[in-house]
Amino acid sequence: MLSHAEIWGALDRLATKQSISPSRLARDAGLDATSFNKSKRITTSGKPRWPSTESISKVLRTVGMDFEDFACMAKNKGASGPAIPVIGLAQAGDEGFFDDAGFPCGGSWEDVRIPGELDENVYALEIAGDSMDPVLRAGDKVLVAPNANVRRGDRVVVKTLAGEVMAKELRKLTDTVVELSSLNPEYEDRILTRKDVQWIGRIIWVSQ
């Protein structure tokens, strides 16, 4: 079970990782800027005050982190995570990096450390471009699980048979069509025929 100090410490470390203050972290998540102030962590009677589950959920949704990874951060387990293969999203469309099922192949991948225990069949891509701003920014690393089931609302990486690779939000998936949303309104949504899609991998973690 996570302690009061561990939860608040994880929020502080998450803010530091984003190169912002806890106040900015709260504001970016749509919370009052004082929500994570030191004065809000203890009641007037001196008892520990916990952040609400709603506020933590909003923060994790804003930075693209799930609670398991947040818990690892709270327990300081991130540094001992496994080495995961990583390449840039711009490279991912080139030949020789993936097999037909969307798994890494070839020897040109580098490694990145990811917190927590993970399935061995995951890999990371470094985001390029701004089509997913402000949720995913250029330089962010996304962890992709080719074996994971995908459903509406998931953030996914899609590769077409033509070699195009994109990170989007899955809006609709049927036997004949794949509809994708760009979180940045300056970019158009995409509608692909299923037969033109080589593979879809679900994004399960984001490192910023």
Per-residue pLDDT reduced to its tens digit, 88-97: 776 676 666 6
Spatial separation of the C-alpha atoms in residues 2 and 56, rounded to whole Å: 13
Tokens for 202?
């679900």
Q: Which residues pair with 197 in a beta bridge?
A: 160
CATH of 84-207, one of 2.40.10.10, 1.10.8.60, 2.10.109.10, 1.10.600.10: 2.10.109.10
Cα 161 to chain centroid, rounded: 25
**Of residues 162, 161, 163, 197, the one with CA closest to residue 179:** 197
The residue with tokens 């990371």 is: 124
pLDDT band at residue 5 under the 50/70/90 scheme: confident
Residues of the chain with CATH 2.10.109.10: 84-207
> pLDDT tens across 110-166, in order?
555 555 545 556 788 888 778 778 777 888 888 888 888 899 989 899 999 998 888
Per-residue pLDDT band for 16 (boundaries 50, 70, 90) equals confident
**Is the separation of the CB atoms in 136 and 155 below 8 Å?**
yes
The two three-digit tokens of residue 74, written as one number: 């709270």
Residues of the chain with CATH 1.10.260.40: 4-76
What distance in Å separates the CA atoms of residue 71 and residue 14, rounded to the nearest whole number? 11
The strand pair at 177-181 and 110-113 is best described as unpaired
The answer to whether domain 4-76 has CATH 3.30.1490.100 is: no
d(CA 76, CA 71): 8
Q: Following CA atoms 62, 139, 169, 67 in sequence, which dihedral angle do they give, to the nearest 10 degrees?
A: -40
